[in-house]
Amino acid sequence: MLKIITGIGVIAILISATFLGIWTSGLQQRANYQSETREHREFRTKIGLYSGLIGLIFLGIAGLIWYF
């Protein structure tokens, strides 16, 4: 059970990092910003923040399970 919850948390954090552009360089982020629409950027940010929040919640739950 703990491994599943931890795995979900890690996968959600990786999805968040991908949608927020953590893995790209500054030049690539600047190019992406200039080439995408405002709606697309807002969609990527919303997905990134929601999946990051879900990841943190699941990792917090896993930490509590491990602690108790």
For 3-44, write each residue's pLDDT tens digit. 999 999 999 999 999 999 999 998 998 998 899 999 999 999
- CA quadruple 26, 27, 32, 35: dihedral sign: positive
**Count of residues in the chain:** 68
Cα–Cα separations (whole angstroms), residue 20 to 28, 33, 44: 12, 11, 7
Query: Higher pLDDT residue, 57 or 29?
Result: 57
Angle at 22 (CA atoms; ends 17, 27), nearest 5 degrees: 150
